[in-house]
C-alpha cells in the first residue's frame, strides 16, 4: 500500500493552510539569507580562485560566529509564541525587547574581537598565504556586520513568534538586492567609486546588513509601543533570555563545530594530496558545495520556522493534541520537500559551478560532491522539521545533549577519513551518513515520546 505523506484529508486542510501561511514567506526569506554569500561568491569568484577560497574561509568564520547566536531568533520565537498562545501579547513583546538588548550586548564585543583577531582566526585553517590574505581582508571588514546581523536574528524571532513571517521576507528581499548592487559597484568600481575587489564585497554586505537591522528594529519598536511594553533594557529579563539561550547555544555550537571540523578536514586532505600551495581548488569546491548546502538547508528550514511558531503557540495554549497533529503533518512536508530539493540539486549539478567560477577544475570537482549532497536532502528535510518542533517546544536541553553525542561520533571519523587521503566526495559521504543520519536518529527518538510536550506560557 502506497502512502502519500501529504495526502489531502479534510482534517489536514486547516493545518496545511496554517503551515503554508507561515512557511511560504519564511521559505522566501530564508532563501534570501544565503543569497548574501551566494551573491558574494558569484562576484568574488570572478576575481580568482584564491579570492573565492579566501571568501570560503572568512565566510565559514562569520557563519560560525553569527550561527552560534541563532538562539536569538529560535529562542525568542518559542518564548514569544508561547506567550501569544497564552493570550499575553504585551509580555510577548517585552520578551522580544529583552532579546534585542541581548543581541546588542553580545554583538558589540564580538565585533571588536573578530576585527582584531581576523588574521589569527583565518590562520587556524592552515591554508596557504595566497588564500589567507584575501580571507583576512574580507573578515576584518565584514566583522562590522555582526551586530546588525544579531539584531536581524532577534527581531526576526520576535516577528515569527507573533506569527508574522511576511515582514522579515520584505526586508530580506530588499536587503539582498542592495547587497548585490553594492557588491558589484564596490568590487569592480565605476565612476568616482574605486575598485576595492574583495574588500568591496565585505563593505557592501555590511552596509546592506545594517540597513536591514534598522528596518526590523523599527517594526518591533512600533509593535511594542502599541502594546505598552517598556523599551528600556530590563536586566533581569535580559539575563533570563541569556540563560534560556544557553542550551540552544550549545546545540548550535555542536552543529557549527561539525561544519568547522568538516572544513578543516577538507583543508588537511587538500594539503596532503596536492602539490604545495595548490590547495585552492578543493577548498573553493568545498566552499561552493557548502554554500549551496546552506542555501537548500534554509529552504527546508522554512517548515521548521513554521514548526517553531505553531508548536510554541499550541503548547502555550495548552493544546497538546494540536501540537502533535501539526508535527506529524510537517514531517510529511519535510519528506516531500527533501525529495524535491534533492532531485533538483542532482539534475542541476553539472551546470551550477559555471555560475560561480571560470575555473574548470573547480567546476568538475563540484559535480560529484553535489550528487552526494542531493542524496542527503530527504534526511535533511525531516531533521530540520523535527529540530524546529523541539525548539518551538522549548526542548533545548535535549537538543544540546543530542548535538554533543552526534559531534563526538562524527568528528573523529571525518578527520580519520581525511587523514587517510580520501577525496572531497568521500568526506561529504561521511558528512551525510554520520552527521545528518545521527541527527535524524536522535530527533526521531525524542519526538516519538511525550516528554517534550510541556504546556503553559513558560517552560
| Banded pLDDT at 12 (limits 50, 70, 90) | low
Comparing 371 with 9, the larger pLDDT belongs to 371
Question: 193 φ, ψ to 5°?
Answer: -85, 125
State how far the Cα of 229 lies from the Cα of 39, in Å rounded to an integer. 38
The closest alpha carbon to 334, from 292, 374, 371, 297, belongs to: 297
pLDDT of residue 300: 81
State how far the Cα of 58 lies from the Cα of 122, in Å rounded to an integer. 7
Rounded to two decimals, what is the model's pTM? 0.79
Least confident window among 164-178, 237-251, 291-305, 415-429:
291-305
Q: Is the pLDDT of residue 277 over 50?
A: no
Sign of CA dihedral 191, 194, 198, 203: negative
State how far the Cα of 176 lies from the Cα of 212, in Å rounded to an integer. 9
- What share of the chain in percent tops pLDDT 90? 36
Tens digit of each residue's pLDDT (9 = 90 or more) over 53-89: 888 888 888 888 887 888 888 888 888 988 888 888 8
| Banded pLDDT at 290 (limits 50, 70, 90) | confident
Q: Is the pLDDT of residue 329 over 60?
A: yes
Q: Is the pLDDT of residue 164 over 50?
A: yes
State how far the Cα of 390 lies from the Cα of 323, in Å rounded to an integer. 11
Q: Is the pLDDT of residue 10 over 60?
A: no
Burial per residue of 428-456, b for 16 or more beta-carbon CB atoms within 10 angstroms, e otherwise: bbbbbbbbbbbbbebbeebbeeeebbebe
Helical (H) or strand (E) element with 137: helix 129-142
Contact predicate 323/59, CB 8 Å: no
Amino acid at each position: 500500500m502506497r502512502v502519500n505523506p501529504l495526502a489531502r484529508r479534510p482534517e489536514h486542510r486547516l493545518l496545511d493552510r496554517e503551515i503554508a501561511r507561515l512557511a511560504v514567506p519564511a521559505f522566501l526569506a530564508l532563501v534570501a539569507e544565503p543569497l548574501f554569500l551566494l551573491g558574494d561568491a558569484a562576484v568574488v569568484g570572478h576575481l580568482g580562485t584564491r579570492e573565492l577560497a579566501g571568501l570560503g574561509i572568512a565566510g565559514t568564520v562569520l557563519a560560525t560566529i553569527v550561527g552560534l547566536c541563532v538562539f536569538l531568533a529560535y529562542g525568542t520565537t518559542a518564548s514569544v509564541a508561547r506567550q501569544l498562545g497564552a493570550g499575553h501579547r504585551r509580555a510577548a513583546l517585552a520578551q522580544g525587547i529583552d532579546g534585542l538588548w541581548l543581541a546588542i550586548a553580545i554583538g558589540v564585543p564580538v565585533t571588536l574581537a573578530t576585527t582584531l583577531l581576523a588574521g589569527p582566526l583565518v590562520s587556524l585553517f592552515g591554508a596557504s598565504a595566497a588564500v589567507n590574505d584575501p580571507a583576512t581582508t574580507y573578515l576584518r571588514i565584514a566583522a562590522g556586520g555582526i551586530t546588525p546581523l544579531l539584531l536581524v536574528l532577534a527581531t526576526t524571532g520576535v516577528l515569527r513568534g507573533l506569527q508574522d513571517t511576511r515582514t522579515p521576507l520584505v526586508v530580506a528581499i530588499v536587503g539582498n538586492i542592495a547587497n548585490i548592487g553594492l557588491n558589484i559597484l564596490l568590487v569592480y568600481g565605476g565612476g568616482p567609486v574605486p575598485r576595492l575587489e574583495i574588500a568591496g564585497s565585505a563593505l557592501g554586505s555590511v552596509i546592506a546588513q545594517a540597513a536591514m537591522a534598522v528596518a526590523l528594529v523599527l517594526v518591533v519598536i512600533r509593535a511594542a509601543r502599541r502594546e505598552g511594553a517598556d523599551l528600556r533594557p530590563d536586566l533581569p529579563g535580559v539575563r533570563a533570555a541569556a540563560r534560556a539561550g544557553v542550551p540552544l547555544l550549545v546545540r548550535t555550537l555542536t552543529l557549527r563545530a561539525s561544519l568547522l571540523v568538516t572544513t578543516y578536514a577538507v583543508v588537511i586532505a587538500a594539503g596532503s594530496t596536492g602539490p604545495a600551495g595548490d590547495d585552492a581548488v578543493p577548498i573553493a569546491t568545498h566552499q561552493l558545495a557548502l554554500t549551496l548546502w546552506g542555501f537548500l538547508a534554509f529552504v527546508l528550514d522554512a517548515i521548521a520556522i513554521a514548526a517553531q511558531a505553531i508548536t510554541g503557540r499550541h503548547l502555550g495554549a495548552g493544546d497538546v493534541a494540536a501540537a502533535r497533529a501539526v508535527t506529524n503533518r510537517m514531517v510529511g512536508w519535510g519528506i516531500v520537500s527533501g525529495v524535491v530539493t534533492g532531485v533538483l540539486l542532482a539534475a542541476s549539478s553539472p551546470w551550477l559551478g559555471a555560475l560561480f567560477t571560470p575555473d574548470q577544475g573547480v567546476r568538475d570537482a563540484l559535480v560529484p560532491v553535489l550528487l552526494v549532497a542531493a542524496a542527503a536532502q530527504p534526511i535533511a528535510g525531516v531533521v530540520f522539521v523535527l529540530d524546529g518542533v523541539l525548539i518551538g517546544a522549548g526542548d533545548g536541553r535535549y537538543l544540546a545533549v543530542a548535538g554533543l553525542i552526534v559531534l563526538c561520533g562524527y568528528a573523529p571519523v571525518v578527520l580519520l577519513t581525511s587523514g587517510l587521503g580520501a577525496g572531497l566526495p568521500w568526506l561529504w559521504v561521511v558528512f551525510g551518513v554520520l552527521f545528518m543520519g545521527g541527527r535524524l536518529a536522535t530527533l526521531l527518538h525524542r519526538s516519538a515520546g511525550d516528554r517534550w510536550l510541556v504546556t503553559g506560557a513558560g517552560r
